[in-house]
Amino acid sequence: MKNYKRLLQYMRPYTRRFILAVFCIIMAATANLYLPWIIKDMVDKVLTEKDMFMLNVISAGIVITFLIRGVFYYGQSYLVSYIGERVIIDVREVMFKKFQRLPMSYFDRHQTGETMSYITNDVAAIQSALVSQLIEMVTEGSILIGSLVMMLYLDWKLSLLTLVIIPLVGQAMKIFGRKLKRNGTVIQERMADITSLLQESVSSVRVVKTFVREDYEINRFQKQNILNFQAAMKNVQLTSLLTPTVEFLAAVSVTFIVWFGGYEVLNGELTAGALIAFLTYAVNLANPVKRLSRVYGSMQKAMAAVDRVFEIIDLPEPLSDKPEAKPLPEIQGHVVVDHVSFGYKKDVLALDDVTLEARPGQMIAFVGPSGAGKSTIANLLPRFYEIDSGSISIDGHDIRDVTIKSLREQIGIVPQETMLFSTTVRENIRYGRLDATDEEVEAAARAANADGFIRELPQGYDTPIGERGLNLSGGQRQRMAIARAILKNPRILILDEATSALDTESEKVVQAALDQLMVGRTSFVIAHRLSTIFNADQIYVIDGGKIKEHGTHEELLKKNGLYSYLYNIQFSKKNVE
């Protein structure tokens, strides 16, 4: 229960409400304990002694009891639900913040749907543990303890006989609880698989329809659904076995009570009303035990979700600011990569002893075969990943010695695949600088050659663009990304094959916007089409994680090396076409 205790720590801000909620739960449960005593007085005093006054007291007592019970029931339901919802909001927020802080390497290893499942499915299971299960646990626990007290008061010998069965019930719950928790983990993992598959299939719906793979995707989903069904039924099987096991043990206990209690009534040691009240309390005792066993099973299932949530919260954050890290001052853009080595996987280097320099305002280009390590350099500069050895400095500041926020605020990136949000055009561009005015947003769009097509949209800059901007063409999305980067006004710019996915006409428009964006900035261009980098100050040819050659376009052609080979392949194809 270590993680459950951690979960309860999130209830600290709501301690007063929680204490009041527990008070309401106990008072509502106490009202239930009064009913068997009413039966005792009805049999022993009203029916046996013909006491009319007691009949009136009992009648009034029933009405008052249920009125009080109703008030406290409302209090417990409202307060516990309020606390549960608030705690879930807090946990969900903590998890979202954690995902925002996790390094890129985490998202390289985990599917988007799996990440979403933590915040949806697992947090929903925690909500059950905190609200409905908590109410039942405190309610049934109060009735259980209250019934035991009343039973001891009525007849201590019968009570001791009843208590013999409790250790057996506890052992049964312990055995089943371990199995339920293990199965609960499987259920949460199956739900994560379904969420991942759903997210993947929906986000790739164009590919699915292009290849006519609807039936294939349906079969994939059905298989995952069946696996989830099997795990759920295993949980039902365990829960269904636990309840009758506890009920049988309780029935054995009640049988002994009936026999021994009847024996005491026949011998005059106990009144008939007291025996009926005792049996009612015994049933009250059995019902809480039965319900607590069910709650315990559900709690164990929920604990699997709690464990998964805290596994994420406890993940280390290797990319974080040093305690002595200082903000990076406004830079000129002098970048030095000094003997840098890095691998995404252990013992597999993506970059091997790379050294290069970019002076302020220069355009540095990276070319080479796919998987050579070009994009890796772009990932290391803003510290999306931590280098294994060597150093990267900007204006003499090692990027590991400055705060990540101040570093990334001065670096702009235009990726190959532009990610836009399902909001308006204006807000997507403003994402580059949130405090930008409408005039600044529109000026950035004009600089990116985007103002023309934006004004032709139904609502102009206030047009919602749909999820990931799919309502726009590739060239339009890319120009919006450039406008976003212009608005940010970074000193260092990274262009990661920003035009490789565009047609010739769109490429010309986008390239013109990029040329304007690069003016006065230190630019790193990862190029697939060599025609876009002929004017680069330095071109670095990378293969197998190593720099094979570097120089200007003309210098590299004269070397007749890998760059010349790549150039001849591209332009011989164009000539043939």
What is the residue-wise DSSP string for 363-409? EEEEE-STTSSHHHHHHHTTTSS--SEEEEEETTEEGGGB-HHHHHT
Decide if 14 contacts 83 (C-beta within 8 A): yes
pLDDT number for residue 577? 45
Residues 25-72 have pLDDT tens digits of 888 877 777 777 777 777 777 667 777 887 788 788 878 888 888 888
Residue 284 scores a pLDDT above 70: no
pLDDT number for residue 179? 75
Residue 159 Ramachandran class (φ > 0 left, ψ -120 to 50 alpha, else beta): alpha
Query: Domains in the chain, start-ordered, CATH in brackets?
Result: 2-313 (1.20.1560.10), 323-410+491-577 (3.40.50.300), 421-489 (3.40.50.300)
Residues 18-25: contacts with CB within 8 Å, 24+ apart? 18/79, 18/83, 20/75, 20/79, 21/75, 21/76, 21/79, 21/80, 21/83, 22/138, 24/72, 24/73, 24/75, 24/76, 24/79, 25/72, 25/76, 25/80, 25/135, 25/138, 25/139, 25/142
Decide if 305 contacts 126 (C-beta within 8 A): yes
Q: Residue 165: what residue type?
A: I
Mean pLDDT along residues 336-362: 90
Residue 573 scores a pLDDT above 60: no
Residues 509-552 have pLDDT tens digits of 777 777 777 888 899 988 877 878 888 899 999 988 899 999 99
pLDDT number for residue 319? 67
Coil, helix or strand for 165? Answer: coil
